[in-house]
Amino acid sequence: MVEKVIPIRIDEGKGLAPSIPEQLVAPHAHTQDARGRTLRDLRLSVTDRCNFRCTYCMPKEVFDQNYPYLAHQELLSFEEITRLGSIFASLGVEKIRLTGGEPLLRKNLEVLIGMLAKLHTPEGKPLDLTLTTNGSILRKKAAALKAAGLQRLTVSLDGLNDETFKKMNDVDFPVADVLDGIQAVQEVGFENIKVNMVVKKGFNDHEIIAMAKHFKSTGIILRFIEFMDVGSSNGWNMAEVLPSKDVLAQINEVFPIEPIEANYSGEVAQRWRYLDGSGEIGVISSVTQTFCHECTRARISTDGQMYQCLFANQGYDFKTMMRSGRSDLEIANAIMNTWAARDNHYSEIRGSHTANPSTGSRKVEMSYIGG
């Protein structure tokens, strides 16, 4: 049962003011955080709104008509997002993932994608530009996303059975429309499509085999995500986490699999392939096998706060900094400073105390910071 008294959005006020060092240095890609991790990825939330009310992310009881969503002027504009993207690229970021809320709800998102697609690394390589979506309006958007220069995408889908899926999304949204969205992106030529399934024990774990069977041999990579204690409103409970090792054991019994090498260091999913050569799956085990030690990800919320971790409770206010006339060099130095001070490793120190919103510190909601 989700409590209604949840402290809702972010930090009730502004984030911390990022500090700008007196001695400015040229932007470079070697800044390490306090644990020796280098900045490589950026997750950008483009809206805090969503048309789903997944019980594990934006439960209806909290995200109702009284929820204080950000007003339009509080959101970063496309120009501000692109400016930040370009500064992050000068600091070694090679991959940008757009997320939310539901990113496709942001009006004219394809225009933003077109702007971000022009960014490149200091070596002149285009950034790896990708998006995570619930797939609900993908059919409508597929061609525009492709034409704008989006390279890849990940679609979230928590089951193939309508009753189960509707129970998860809590807005009566049918599976068929998400599958149709996936088909639409295949039709316009997207490759490397991934599907993310959050597994909640006792809710949708009976769908694991059906999902594996459905996406096997399609070229689509299905990834199973452990239910996480993000935010403070999803009523997280360790008893509802199905460890990835159990997911893998279930699949292996029906479709034998073996582990394969990561594509790159810091990849969040552990990869497995079907022995019959019909493709691969992944597991994201942020509860039972933490990967903080290789996390190279910074996050920018919908209103321009930089978060050092998905489980943080305080952001750094880069929107105010941008709107107060600071130069790109000053902003780059402030980002380097913020990154250098990063010591977060929440998943490694998670316990029932830290994960409980009434006893641990309050964490930012995922819909605002971006999944």
The interface region with ligand SAM, picked from 4-12, 95-103, 256-264, 272-280 by CB under 6 A, is: 95-103
Residue pair 150/117 in contact (Cβ under 8 Å)? The answer is yes
- State the residue number with the nearest CB to ligand SAM: 371
Residue pair 188/226 in contact (Cβ under 8 Å)? The answer is no
Q: Does residue 214 sit in helix, strand or coil? A: helix
**102 is a contact residue toward ligand SAM (CB under 6 A):** yes
Q: What's the length of the chain?
A: 371
Residue placing its CB nearer to ligand SAM in the complex, 165 or 339:
165
**133 is a contact residue toward ligand SAM (CB under 6 A):** yes
Residue placing its CB nearer to ligand SAM in the complex, 301 or 333:
301
* Closest approach of ligand SAM to the CB of residue 317, in Å: 22
Q: 314-353: which residues touch ligand SAM (CB under 6 A)? A: none
Residues 255 and 37: their CA atoms lie apart, in Å, by 36
Residue placing its CB nearer to ligand SAM in the complex, 337 or 354:
354
Residues 41 and 263: their CA atoms lie apart, in Å, by 15
The interface region with ligand SAM, picked from 132-140, 274-282, 307-315, 323-331 by CB under 6 A, is: 132-140
Residue pair 232/363 in contact (Cβ under 8 Å)? The answer is yes
**178 is a contact residue toward ligand SAM (CB under 6 A):** no
Helices (H), the chain: 78-90, 109-116, 138-148, 162-169, 175-187, 208-215, 244-254, 318-323, 328-340, 346-349, 352-355, 366-369
Residues 317 and 331: their CA atoms lie apart, in Å, by 11
Among 47, 55, 132, 302, binds ligand SAM (CB under 6 A): 132
* Closest approach of ligand SAM to the CB of residue 240, in Å: 10
Nearest of 208, 188, 190 to residue 199 by alpha carbon: 208
* Closest approach of ligand SAM to the CB of residue 141, in Å: 13
**355 is a contact residue toward ligand SAM (CB under 6 A):** no
**310 is a contact residue toward ligand SAM (CB under 6 A):** no
The binding site for ligand SAM (CB under 6 A) comprises 50, 56-57, 99-100, 102, 132-134, 156, 196, 198, 225, 227-228, 230, 234, 366-367, 371
